[in-house]
Structure 1
Amino acid sequence: MPRRTFFSFHYKPDVWRAWNVRNSWVVREADEDSRGFFDSSVFEASKKESDGALKTFLRKGIDNTSVTCVLAGTETWSRRWVRYEIVRSIIKGNGLLTVYIHGVQNKDKETSTKGANPLAQIGLYRTARGIFFAEWMNRKWVAYADYTLAVPEGDLWFKAPDTNNVVQLSTHCLSYDFIGQSGRKNIGGWIETAAGMAGR
């Protein structure tokens, strides 16, 4: 089965690392594909146009994918549009995983510091009105502002929260270290595992 994968990452510091990870994905089948490697000028142009235009651009990038792989560098966890890609991936039903890429060298042969797991910065909670997204900001959980609709419980591939206590997405998803866990050899299997966990 084709495994179309969306890669989410923080552009300015990590695009070189992300390209290296994507290009090392040599274990994929011939009919597998990756999405999310947009030309940075297209990304920046959409961002300058309006928030709505950028959201549409990112949603289209996630279309026709079954897995979203978050490539985590030092500050990826705090990036607004990475969070949006994660939320839209949950809504779509994609499998999700985090792959830490801080140990991958950039174009200047430099590595960076490991950052927090982006999937631990987004969560879900239940209210009388339904299930909603929350995000970690300023050392507390707040309602997620870029998607404010209730999430149908039946659309979730994992157990929905029972209370108004936020359950982090990382509770339901696996994470890996690209350098420390031989990502060049194993990333295809990690992606396939994430797809299987989501029933994709």
Structure 2
Amino acid sequence: MAKTVFYSFHYTHDVHRVQLVKNINALEGQPILNSQDWEKVSRGGTAAIQKWIDEQMAYKKAVLVLIGKETATRPWVKYEIQKAWADKRPLLGIRIHGLSSMGTVDSVGGNPFTNAGITGVPIFDPTTLDRQGKIDSQGTYNNLSDKIETWSSQGVIRS
């Protein structure tokens, strides 16, 4: 199983959801920068951001793309996916739109792998619905908690 992973995600929109994923404590991921630390890295420009990503991804066993509503359109997510693919690092996606962020859930987002020009990468969806057909964020969290460790070992590698 991929116990150490690099989490790829859209920071601004999904950082609270990603913190929930990290709090499951099933996997070890890179540090999630607070907004001030991210600003410090990004002030260094494209080269500094790429260097930070490359260093954080270097010793991870897999790259987990945490897919929220806007993840597929983010240029740094695309970079991370393409880097993982080029490095032959196991790659997979998990939908996180059903986790609560500041008390709300989100709508499903597009496929970031297609946007990065890659096909065949599995995307897992722990989203659970209540009796009225609405997203149950607690049920989604519990479902993710039960399955994330198993899913982390099911990434695909470029052949």
Greater helix fraction, Structure 1 or Structure 2: 2
Q: Distance in 2 between matches of 1:192 and 1:9?
A: 19
SS at match of 1:193: coil
Q: Does 1:20 align with 2:20?
A: yes
Q: Distance in 1 between matches of 2:123 and 2:85?
A: 16
Residue identity opposite 1:16 in structure 2: H
Deviations 1:46-92 (CA, angstroms, capped at 9, x unpaired): 11221111111111110101200000111110011111111111122
Is the Cα contact below 8 Å between 2:85 and 2:157 reproduced in 1? no
Q: Does 1:188 align with 2:149?
A: yes
SS at match of 2:147: helix
Alignment of 1:1-200 (within 5 A): 3-26=3-26, 28=27, 33-35=28-30, 37-106=32-101, 108-123=102-117, 169=118, 171-180=119-128, 182-194=143-155, 197-198=156-157
Greater strand fraction, Structure 1 or Structure 2: 1
Cα 1:184–1:16 shift into 2, 3 Å: same
Query: What is the root-mean-square deviation in Å for CA atoms of aligned residues?
Result: 1.9
Q: Distance in 1 between matches of 2:92 and 2:17?
A: 17
- What is the percentage of aligned positions where both structures have the same residue? 26
Residue identity opposite 2:90 in structure 1: G
The normalised TM-score by structure 2 is: 0.83
Is the Cα contact below 8 Å between 1:4 and 1:67 reproduced in 2? yes
Residue identity opposite 1:22 in structure 2: K
Is the Cα contact below 8 Å between 1:70 and 1:98 reproduced in 2? yes
Cα 1:173–1:85 shift into 2, 3 Å: same
Is the Cα contact below 8 Å between 1:8 and 1:36 reproduced in 2? no
Q: Distance in 2 between matches of 1:115 and 1:188?
A: 22
The answer for unaligned runs of 5 or more in structure 1 is 124-168
The answer for unaligned runs of 5 or more in structure 2 is 129-139
Q: Distance in 1 between matches of 2:36 and 2:96?
A: 23
Residue identity opposite 1:111 in structure 2: V
Q: Distance in 1 between matches of 2:56 and 2:3?
A: 15
